Chain A
Amino acid sequence: QAIFCLPRSFEYSQNNAVLVPAAALGVGGLLLYWLRSGRKIKTIDMGDGWWGSGERPLKGKEDTSIRPFKVETSDKEIEDLHRRLDQFRFTPHVEGAAFHYGFNSSYLRKVVAYWRNQFDWRKQVEALNKYPHFHTTIEGIDIHFIHVKPPYVPHGRAVKPLLMVHGWPGSFYEFYKIIPLLTEPAKHGLNEGDVVFEVICPSIPGYGFSEAPHQKEFDSIATARIFHKLMNRLGFKEYYLQGGDWGSRITTNMAQMLPQSVKGLHLNLVFIAKQSLGRLICIMLGAYIPWLVGFSREDARRFYPFMQKNVFDVLRESGYLHIQATKPDTAGCGLNDSPVGLAAYILEKFSTWTDKSFLHKDDGGLESKYSLDELLTNVMIYWVTSSIVSSMRFYKENFSKDPDLSAHNRVGVYVPTGIAAFPQELVHVPWVWAKDVYKNIISYSYMPRGGHFAAFEEPKLLAQDIMQFVQKVEQL
């Protein structure tokens, strides 16, 4: 009986042989479809918004004019500042505090003395006005920006539009030193293959000279959409984006929203939500066998010891983030009333986020990288516009909805991306993790020096990296 079974089973399989290629075709087709649909770029919804006071007007089109603007000051403003500086009430620090308890009050006294007696706000206002400023109304609020065109364009060269977005506690002013390197590279000894930019630096709504939103829920998505509308209004269809801190978040959202408008995205800070078992294993193994998990030696050097650099240091530095993401109106109240308090709060970041070892210095190492004039000019932008409270609300609006900022990490970023990893940045994100979100990284550079405020502290290094990235994009 067994012998008779064999020929029968063979015959059976012959008849059914057609099933195998059919099944293979079916599975193959499904696989192909799945792969292709996975490749289809997901975008985030643009949506719309209204941030002016009261109800959105039903009739009438929004005023889309672009109005020139000049920063101004007055005797009254300066006198008021001086009076407050004169009446500041100091608290002596504990012995040996350095910057471990926050801004050292002995060094603060020196800063205040300079601010009161040598800082010249009128002169700084002139310096601010050296680039053309504008205002335009978008979604009900006045958006401020500077627009710097190259003074001279070599024949036949195309000028690339570049939108650069600041963060907290920075401002458009952080880009003042890097702008000339991007609009006139040859003049400043840079010659990265003839790339020349026209630079647009807006102020995030609620920061500096941009009007603060009057409604709740103004987050990075709304900002991204408003900045797209701005570029559109200026006549640009395709442009480059650059950002760090909130600017990184906003430009990333812009690339996710309208990838067809973003020629390239350059970041000096990357936000990644790192939660998964796989990541945990990666972290543990990476300490011993970095190459196994895709870490370079430089990655390992910057990333480990893990607990110290990524947990303890982050906890130590994120108190401001916690209070601003929960009670911004309380946290900002005193800061909008005490210029010295505001300066201490902001300048503490310019110290610790530039170099973590500055914590051990009595003067916080501030003047080793920046001049008091430029640091105080940035503080004055927050002071004269009374924008500290609205700037802090941005934390609540973004973190309340999405505590680990991961919702849009799932959408991914498909535009050509360049990352400049500065060694003293708060947290180092290795390329192997960044590419989970940024699917098209064409440039990843370990910068030799510099911290969080890259454009402010190391404009030349950042400019060079932006240029080499843009060149790579242009050659794609």
Chain B
Amino acid sequence: GFVIYWFVSRDKEETLPLEDGWWGPGSKPSAKEDESIRPFKVETSDEEIKDLHQRIDRFRASPPLEGSRFHYGFNSSYLKKVVSFWRNEFDWRKQVEILNQYPHFKTKIEGLDIHFIHVKPPQLPSGRTPKPLLMVHGWPGSFYEFYKIIPLLTDPKTHGLSDEHVFEVICPSIPGYGFSEASSKKGLNSVATARIFYKLMSRLGFQKFYIQGGDWGSLICTNIAQMVPNHVKGLHLNMSFISRNIYSLTPLLGQRFGRFLGYTEKDLELLYPFKEKVFYNIMRESGYLHIQATKPDTVGCALNDSPVGLAAYILEKFSTWTKSEYRELEDGGLERKFSLEDLLTNIMIYWTTGTIVSSQRFYKENLGQGVMVHRHEGMKVFVPTGYSAFPSEILHAPEKWVKVKYPKLISYSYMERGGHFAAFEEPKLLAQDIRKFVSLAELQ
């Protein structure tokens, strides 16, 4: 009886219920929601730029401890240099034009104005339709992280890639981030966001699409695949939340057992010494997560008032999560992989929209009740899945672990280089892996 039960209950392909929600201010109006898709342009003003300059000019710095580099957080000596560039050379009007190079839109879903960019291929071989691809950002990123990878996906031929796969890319902003309206109600978590983004794709006329994500984007896309698997042609991830399964404890048995358990050389290299690379690393890097999951309105308060404070808070992540060894550098290694223009443009999105607090609330809505409290955390994902394992990601997820949650894992790649902000830092590598995955998914 037990054996029969075990066989029957194995890999039961359950889906996450679709439900509904409403997140606008006050009570839900009885009239039907306006479903129009309105074009949108990012704008700025002299007033906005002047206010920014004034705040930068009166920033109060605290001298760093001698020899502290990036071990105490963002080094304030290097911060002075960033601030000077921001004040004197960064051209926000020029960056706004760059932001507007792709078409932006807004549409109301579940009471909130959802912002997204929708980039169609400029050229297509005749008779072909582009593959719809939804790409979801995370924190402290934005839709802007995808600006360099988009052309490689929508216009591969111009960038030295074959036109076997041509995509039309949709990058929305998570509610409460950037140009997407923030929720007025409690409880807007990754599942609600997944449902909102699914409704968006539906409204745009897509019945079957690919989804890609890292950081919160990884969780949101996973939820979409759990919710509406029949609409998801393939799920590609560059980060995975630690699966709470027995496998994630096995590295504690030590390196020697690793090989017996199916870990590869690369896995062992990235996971050991375990205490240092996993335990201390998580403890050292999760302070922001702890405070944002418990007191987001407190921690975000000053960040919405001090642009330099906001920049230090966000850019610390772009340093340490790109390569954890960058903590040893006086300048945090920031400019080795990113330009200050790009980094500051991302910050300006949080600054000009005043969305740092609402972005941090997402942590409380998802993690505030604890771990393993949400239904989706215990559920597997049954759509074709591809995974890019970047070597400097905060925490490495071996194929063994990923496969437990994503049994239909058809592509797992050890990427040559790169960290957490994959699309931003290594757009070509990520684009190539997405295409490799899609080739395999199309065969399914």
Contact = CB atoms under 8 A, between A and B. Distances in A.
Contacts of A365: none
Interface in B277-300: 283-288, 290-300
Interface stretch (B62-70, B225-233, B415-423): B62-70
A102 B305 contact: no
B292 to A, nearest CB: 7
A334 B287 contact: no
B309 A338 contact: yes
Nearest to B288: A323
B179 to A, nearest CB: 16
Nearest to B64: A329
B310 interface: yes
A51 to B, nearest CB: 10
Interface in A13-54: 53
Given A333-B308, A337-B308, A344-B301, A95 B185 contact: yes
Given A215-B66, A327-B288, A386-B60, A338 B306 contact: yes
A80 interface: yes
Contacts of B62: 329, 332-333, 336, 386, 388-390
Contacts of A325: 287
Nearest to A326: B287
Contacts of A315: 290, 294
A96 interface: yes
Given A334-B302, A337-B306, A215 B65 contact: yes
Contacts of B60: 336-337, 386
A328 B72 contact: yes
A80 B58 contact: yes
Contacts of A10: none
B358 interface: yes
Nearest to A88: B305
Contacts of A105: 297, 301
Contact of A330 (B183, B184, B283, B313): B313
Interface string A323-357: 11111111111111110111011001000000000
A326 B287 CA distance: 7
Nearest to A389: B62
A343 B58 CA distance: 18
A431 B431 CA distance: 62
B297 A93 contact: yes
Given A91-B297, A91-B300, A330 B186 contact: no
Nearest to B51: A87
A322 B286 contact: yes
B297 A97 contact: yes
B302 A342 contact: yes
A216 interface: yes
Interface string A268-279: 000000000000
B21 interface: no
A214 interface: yes
Contact of B309 (A87, A92, A337): A337
A319 B291 contact: yes
Contacts of A358: none
Contact of B296 (A90, A102, A215, A340): A102
Nearest to A399: B283
B151 to A, nearest CB: 34
A84 B305 CA distance: 9
Chain B interface size, under 10 / 10 to 19 / 20 to 34 / 35 or more: 35 or more
Interface of B is mostly: helix
Contacts of B285: 326
A101 B296 contact: yes
Contacts of B55: 87, 337
Contacts of B59: 337
Contacts of A332: 62
Contacts of A61: none
B74 interface: yes
B306 A334 contact: yes
B72 A396 contact: yes
Contacts of B284: 326
A80 B295 CA distance: 28
Given A329-B74, A338-B302, A348 B65 contact: no
Contacts of A187: none
B296 A95 contact: no
Interface string B32-62: 0000000000000000000100010011111
B219 interface: no
Contact of A345 (B61, B287, B298, B306): B298
Contacts of A220: none
Contacts of A319: 287, 290-295, 299
Contacts of B65: 213-216, 393
Nearest to B74: A330
Given A89-B304, A337-B302, A393-B65, A327 B309 contact: no
A325 B286 CA distance: 11
A317 B186 contact: no
A327 B316 contact: yes
Nearest to A319: B291
B290 A335 contact: no
A389 B313 CA distance: 13
B79 interface: yes
A103 interface: yes
Contact of A393 (B72, B75, B302): B72
A282 interface: no
Contacts of A348: 295, 298
7 contacts: A87-B305, A89-B304, A214-B63, A327-B73, A328-B72, A340-B301, A341-B302
Given A101-B298, A333-B312, A334-B313, 20 more contacts: A91-B356, A91-B357, A94-B361, A97-B186, A97-B297, A102-B297, A102-B299, A103-B298, A216-B65, A319-B293, A327-B72, A327-B316, A329-B64, A334-B312, A337-B306, A340-B302, A341-B301, A341-B309, A344-B302, A345-B298
